[in-house]
Amino acid sequence: MDRYYQVLGNREMGTQVPVSIATALALESAMGISEDHPEHKAKPPLQSATALWVNLRTLIRNIMGAIPSQDQDKVFPDPLLDALTSEIRVMASAVQMNTQRRCKLVPYVQSYQSLKSQYKNCFIREPKTPKQEFFAELEGNVLRRIPEMHLDMAVVQSDMKLPQNSDDALIITHMPLDLLSRYEFSRLRLLESHTGKIKAYTSWNSKLTGGKELSRMPFNHVTLQFFGDGVHFNTFPMKEKKQIIELAEARRWNPTTTLDKMRMDIQAEPLHPTFKAILLSMF
Protein backbone atom coordinates (compact mmCIF):
# COMPACT_ATOMS: atom_id res chain seq x y z
CA MET A 1 0.00 0.00 0.00
CA ASP A 2 1.25 3.47 -0.86
CA ARG A 3 2.54 5.02 2.36
CA TYR A 4 0.28 8.07 1.93
CA TYR A 5 -2.75 5.80 1.69
CA GLN A 6 -1.47 3.80 4.64
CA VAL A 7 -1.65 6.84 6.92
CA LEU A 8 -5.38 7.05 6.26
CA GLY A 9 -5.84 3.28 6.25
CA ASN A 10 -4.46 3.10 9.77
CA ARG A 11 -6.74 5.78 11.22
CA GLU A 12 -8.90 4.93 14.23
CA MET A 13 -12.24 3.51 13.11
CA GLY A 14 -15.51 2.54 14.74
CA THR A 15 -15.98 -1.04 15.87
CA GLN A 16 -19.51 -1.44 14.47
CA VAL A 17 -19.58 1.06 11.62
CA PRO A 18 -16.21 1.21 9.78
CA VAL A 19 -15.78 4.96 9.48
CA SER A 20 -13.56 7.37 11.41
CA ILE A 21 -14.11 7.04 15.13
CA ALA A 22 -15.83 10.37 15.86
CA THR A 23 -18.32 9.83 13.03
CA ALA A 24 -18.83 6.21 14.02
CA LEU A 25 -19.66 7.11 17.62
CA ALA A 26 -22.35 9.51 16.42
CA LEU A 27 -23.86 7.08 13.93
CA GLU A 28 -23.81 4.12 16.32
CA SER A 29 -25.63 6.22 18.91
CA ALA A 30 -28.32 7.27 16.44
CA MET A 31 -28.71 3.67 15.28
CA GLY A 32 -29.27 2.46 18.84
CA ILE A 33 -26.25 0.14 18.87
CA SER A 34 -23.94 2.17 21.12
CA GLU A 35 -23.15 0.89 24.59
CA ASP A 36 -22.56 4.50 25.61
CA HIS A 37 -26.18 5.40 24.83
CA PRO A 38 -28.42 2.59 26.10
CA GLU A 39 -31.31 5.07 26.15
CA HIS A 40 -31.37 4.91 22.35
CA LYS A 41 -31.63 1.14 22.04
CA ALA A 42 -35.38 0.78 22.50
CA LYS A 43 -36.18 3.53 20.02
CA PRO A 44 -33.18 4.40 17.82
CA PRO A 45 -33.34 8.11 16.93
CA LEU A 46 -32.35 7.43 13.34
CA GLN A 47 -35.52 5.39 12.87
CA SER A 48 -37.71 8.39 13.73
CA ALA A 49 -35.92 10.62 11.21
CA THR A 50 -36.42 10.85 7.47
CA ALA A 51 -32.91 12.10 6.72
CA LEU A 52 -29.42 12.29 8.15
CA TRP A 53 -27.68 15.39 6.83
CA VAL A 54 -23.88 15.22 7.02
CA ASN A 55 -21.46 18.10 6.56
CA LEU A 56 -18.57 16.93 4.37
CA ARG A 57 -16.26 19.36 6.15
CA THR A 58 -17.10 17.58 9.40
CA LEU A 59 -16.40 14.18 7.88
CA ILE A 60 -13.01 15.48 6.70
CA ARG A 61 -12.29 16.91 10.15
CA ASN A 62 -13.19 13.59 11.76
CA ILE A 63 -11.02 11.65 9.32
CA MET A 64 -8.07 13.90 10.11
CA GLY A 65 -8.81 13.69 13.83
CA ALA A 66 -8.60 9.89 13.68
CA ILE A 67 -4.97 10.16 12.55
CA PRO A 68 -2.16 10.76 15.08
CA SER A 69 -1.21 14.43 15.03
CA GLN A 70 2.37 13.69 14.00
CA ASP A 71 1.11 12.00 10.82
CA GLN A 72 -1.52 14.53 9.74
CA ASP A 73 0.90 16.44 7.53
CA LYS A 74 1.38 13.22 5.53
CA VAL A 75 -2.23 13.33 4.27
CA PHE A 76 -2.64 14.27 0.60
CA PRO A 77 -5.77 15.10 -1.42
CA ASP A 78 -6.11 11.86 -3.42
CA PRO A 79 -6.12 9.47 -0.44
CA LEU A 80 -8.32 11.85 1.56
CA LEU A 81 -10.84 12.10 -1.28
CA ASP A 82 -10.96 8.30 -1.50
CA ALA A 83 -11.42 7.98 2.27
CA LEU A 84 -14.22 10.56 2.25
CA THR A 85 -15.99 8.82 -0.63
CA SER A 86 -15.72 5.47 1.13
CA GLU A 87 -17.11 6.84 4.38
CA ILE A 88 -20.14 8.38 2.65
CA ARG A 89 -20.93 5.07 0.96
CA VAL A 90 -20.56 3.13 4.22
CA MET A 91 -22.77 5.61 6.06
CA ALA A 92 -25.45 5.55 3.37
CA SER A 93 -25.57 1.77 3.49
CA ALA A 94 -25.67 1.68 7.30
CA VAL A 95 -28.48 4.26 7.43
CA GLN A 96 -30.56 2.36 4.89
CA MET A 97 -30.10 -0.98 6.63
CA ASN A 98 -30.83 0.39 10.10
CA THR A 99 -34.04 2.12 9.01
CA GLN A 100 -35.25 -0.26 6.30
CA ARG A 101 -34.69 2.57 3.80
CA ARG A 102 -37.04 4.95 5.65
CA CYS A 103 -34.17 7.36 6.26
CA LYS A 104 -31.77 8.73 3.65
CA LEU A 105 -28.25 10.10 3.92
CA VAL A 106 -27.84 13.66 2.61
CA PRO A 107 -24.20 14.76 2.24
CA TYR A 108 -23.81 18.51 1.95
CA VAL A 109 -21.24 21.28 1.89
CA GLN A 110 -21.59 25.03 2.28
CA SER A 111 -19.06 27.45 0.82
CA TYR A 112 -19.61 30.30 3.34
CA GLN A 113 -18.48 32.70 0.60
CA SER A 114 -20.86 35.40 1.84
CA LEU A 115 -19.68 35.19 5.44
CA LYS A 116 -17.71 38.45 5.52
CA SER A 117 -20.30 40.45 3.57
CA GLN A 118 -23.20 39.16 5.67
CA TYR A 119 -21.54 39.52 9.07
CA LYS A 120 -19.66 42.82 9.07
CA ASN A 121 -19.50 43.81 12.74
CA CYS A 122 -18.09 40.71 14.37
CA PHE A 123 -14.71 39.00 14.61
CA ILE A 124 -14.34 36.52 11.74
CA ARG A 125 -11.86 33.70 12.35
CA GLU A 126 -9.13 33.09 9.79
CA PRO A 127 -6.51 30.32 9.57
CA LYS A 128 -3.37 31.61 11.30
CA THR A 129 -1.00 28.79 12.14
CA PRO A 130 0.82 26.69 9.51
CA LYS A 131 -1.25 23.68 10.61
CA GLN A 132 -4.53 25.57 10.19
CA GLU A 133 -3.46 26.85 6.78
CA PHE A 134 -2.39 23.35 5.70
CA PHE A 135 -5.73 21.90 6.75
CA ALA A 136 -7.73 24.66 5.02
CA GLU A 137 -5.84 24.13 1.76
CA LEU A 138 -6.21 20.36 1.95
CA GLU A 139 -9.93 20.59 2.70
CA GLY A 140 -10.49 23.06 -0.12
CA ASN A 141 -8.63 20.83 -2.57
CA VAL A 142 -10.82 17.85 -1.70
CA LEU A 143 -14.11 19.74 -1.77
CA ARG A 144 -13.36 21.19 -5.21
CA ARG A 145 -13.25 17.61 -6.48
CA ILE A 146 -16.71 16.52 -5.34
CA PRO A 147 -17.71 15.54 -8.92
CA GLU A 148 -14.92 12.94 -8.87
CA MET A 149 -16.57 11.08 -5.99
CA HIS A 150 -19.16 9.40 -8.28
CA LEU A 151 -21.66 8.85 -5.48
CA ASP A 152 -25.11 7.33 -5.87
CA MET A 153 -26.60 10.45 -4.29
CA ALA A 154 -26.32 14.16 -4.87
CA VAL A 155 -24.14 16.33 -2.65
CA VAL A 156 -26.18 19.38 -1.65
CA GLN A 157 -24.12 22.53 -2.19
CA SER A 158 -25.03 25.98 -0.89
CA ASP A 159 -23.48 29.18 0.42
CA MET A 160 -24.80 30.20 3.85
CA LYS A 161 -28.18 28.49 4.17
CA LEU A 162 -29.30 24.95 3.49
CA PRO A 163 -32.17 24.61 1.00
CA GLN A 164 -35.74 24.38 2.22
CA ASN A 165 -36.97 20.81 2.53
CA SER A 166 -39.51 18.67 4.38
CA ASP A 167 -37.06 16.45 6.24
CA ASP A 168 -37.37 15.50 9.89
CA ALA A 169 -33.62 15.42 10.11
CA LEU A 170 -30.63 14.67 12.24
CA ILE A 171 -27.54 16.65 11.29
CA ILE A 172 -23.85 15.93 11.83
CA THR A 173 -21.88 19.17 11.69
CA HIS A 174 -19.21 20.90 13.77
CA MET A 175 -20.14 24.25 12.24
CA PRO A 176 -22.82 25.99 14.34
CA LEU A 177 -23.57 28.33 11.44
CA ASP A 178 -25.30 25.40 9.72
CA LEU A 179 -27.80 25.19 12.57
CA LEU A 180 -29.21 28.59 11.61
CA SER A 181 -30.95 26.70 8.77
CA ARG A 182 -33.24 24.89 11.20
CA TYR A 183 -36.33 26.67 9.89
CA GLU A 184 -35.66 25.14 6.47
CA PHE A 185 -36.53 21.71 7.94
CA SER A 186 -39.71 20.31 9.41
CA ARG A 187 -37.51 19.42 12.41
CA LEU A 188 -33.76 19.51 12.92
CA ARG A 189 -31.76 17.87 15.71
CA LEU A 190 -28.01 17.95 16.13
CA LEU A 191 -26.20 14.59 16.28
CA GLU A 192 -22.83 15.28 17.84
CA SER A 193 -19.64 13.65 16.65
CA HIS A 194 -17.54 12.08 19.40
CA THR A 195 -20.28 12.11 22.05
CA GLY A 196 -23.22 10.73 20.08
CA LYS A 197 -25.54 13.09 21.96
CA ILE A 198 -28.67 14.30 20.22
CA LYS A 199 -29.58 17.91 20.91
CA ALA A 200 -32.72 19.88 20.13
CA TYR A 201 -32.39 23.58 19.34
CA THR A 202 -32.90 24.55 22.99
CA SER A 203 -29.51 22.96 23.75
CA TRP A 204 -27.58 24.51 20.88
CA ASN A 205 -26.29 27.34 23.08
CA SER A 206 -23.67 24.79 24.16
CA LYS A 207 -22.09 25.43 20.75
CA LEU A 208 -21.36 29.05 21.61
CA THR A 209 -17.89 29.81 22.96
CA GLY A 210 -18.11 29.33 26.72
CA GLY A 211 -21.48 27.65 26.26
CA LYS A 212 -21.48 26.04 29.70
CA GLU A 213 -21.86 29.51 31.20
CA LEU A 214 -24.55 30.64 28.73
CA SER A 215 -27.58 28.64 29.83
CA ARG A 216 -29.84 31.68 29.43
CA MET A 217 -28.75 32.43 25.89
CA PRO A 218 -30.87 31.49 22.90
CA PHE A 219 -28.95 30.20 19.91
CA ASN A 220 -29.39 32.49 16.93
CA HIS A 221 -27.35 34.55 14.46
CA VAL A 222 -26.89 37.36 17.02
CA THR A 223 -25.54 35.25 19.88
CA LEU A 224 -23.42 33.31 17.40
CA GLN A 225 -21.72 36.50 16.20
CA PHE A 226 -21.35 37.92 19.68
CA PHE A 227 -20.17 34.95 21.71
CA GLY A 228 -18.40 33.17 18.85
CA ASP A 229 -18.22 29.48 18.04
CA GLY A 230 -14.53 28.67 17.65
CA VAL A 231 -15.12 27.92 13.97
CA HIS A 232 -16.28 31.01 12.05
CA PHE A 233 -16.51 33.64 14.79
CA ASN A 234 -14.24 34.82 17.58
CA THR A 235 -15.87 36.00 20.78
CA PHE A 236 -16.25 39.62 21.88
CA PRO A 237 -14.11 40.86 24.82
CA MET A 238 -15.04 39.68 28.31
CA LYS A 239 -16.14 43.15 29.46
CA GLU A 240 -18.82 43.31 26.77
CA LYS A 241 -19.83 39.67 27.22
CA LYS A 242 -20.37 40.21 30.93
CA GLN A 243 -22.80 43.04 30.18
CA ILE A 244 -24.92 40.85 27.93
CA ILE A 245 -24.83 37.91 30.33
CA GLU A 246 -26.04 40.20 33.11
CA LEU A 247 -28.70 41.61 30.80
CA ALA A 248 -29.90 38.10 29.97
CA GLU A 249 -30.15 37.31 33.67
CA ALA A 250 -32.00 40.50 34.52
CA ARG A 251 -34.43 40.18 31.60
CA ARG A 252 -34.84 36.43 32.18
CA TRP A 253 -33.78 35.25 28.73
CA ASN A 254 -33.87 31.54 27.99
CA PRO A 255 -33.10 29.30 24.98
CA THR A 256 -36.51 30.10 23.46
CA THR A 257 -36.23 33.91 23.80
CA THR A 258 -37.08 35.56 20.50
CA LEU A 259 -34.95 38.00 18.54
CA ASP A 260 -37.67 40.65 19.00
CA LYS A 261 -37.43 40.43 22.78
CA MET A 262 -33.64 40.47 22.65
CA ARG A 263 -33.66 43.59 20.48
CA MET A 264 -36.20 45.35 22.71
CA ASP A 265 -34.22 44.55 25.88
CA ILE A 266 -30.94 45.73 24.35
CA GLN A 267 -32.57 48.97 23.19
CA ALA A 268 -33.87 49.60 26.72
CA GLU A 269 -30.53 48.87 28.41
CA PRO A 270 -28.21 51.82 29.26
CA LEU A 271 -25.26 50.47 27.28
CA HIS A 272 -22.50 52.56 25.70
CA PRO A 273 -24.02 54.00 22.49
CA THR A 274 -21.32 52.57 20.22
CA PHE A 275 -21.57 49.12 21.78
CA LYS A 276 -25.36 49.21 21.57
CA ALA A 277 -25.22 50.23 17.90
CA ILE A 278 -22.88 47.31 17.12
CA LEU A 279 -25.19 44.89 18.90
CA LEU A 280 -28.28 46.15 17.13
CA SER A 281 -26.52 45.97 13.76
CA MET A 282 -26.20 42.20 14.28
CA PHE A 283 -29.95 41.75 14.05
Under DSSP, the state recorded for 192 is -
| Model pLDDT, residue 120 | 92
Burial (CB count within 10 angstroms: exposed 0-12, middle 13-18, buried 19+), residue 203? middle
| Model pLDDT, residue 5 | 86
| Model pLDDT, residue 48 | 96
Sorted by where each begins, the domain ranges of the chain are 3-199, 211-281
| Model pLDDT, residue 3 | 74
* Helices 56-65 + 130-143 axis angle, to 10: 130
Contacts of 10 (CB under 8 A, 6+ apart): 67
Q: Which CATH number fits the domain 3-199, given the four candidates 3.40.50, 3.30.200, 1.10.530, 3.40.1350?
A: 3.40.50
Cross-strand partners of 189:
170
Confidence (pTM): 0.96
In tens digits, what is the pLDDT along the chain, a chain of 283 residues? 477 689 999 999 999 999 999 999 999 999 999 999 999 999 999 999 999 999 999 999 999 999 999 999 999 999 999 999 999 999 999 999 999 999 999 999 999 999 999 999 999 999 999 999 999 999 999 999 999 999 999 999 999 999 999 999 999 999 999 999 999 999 999 999 999 999 999 999 999 999 999 999 999 999 999 999 999 999 999 999 999 999 999 999 999 999 999 999 999 999 999 999 999 999 9
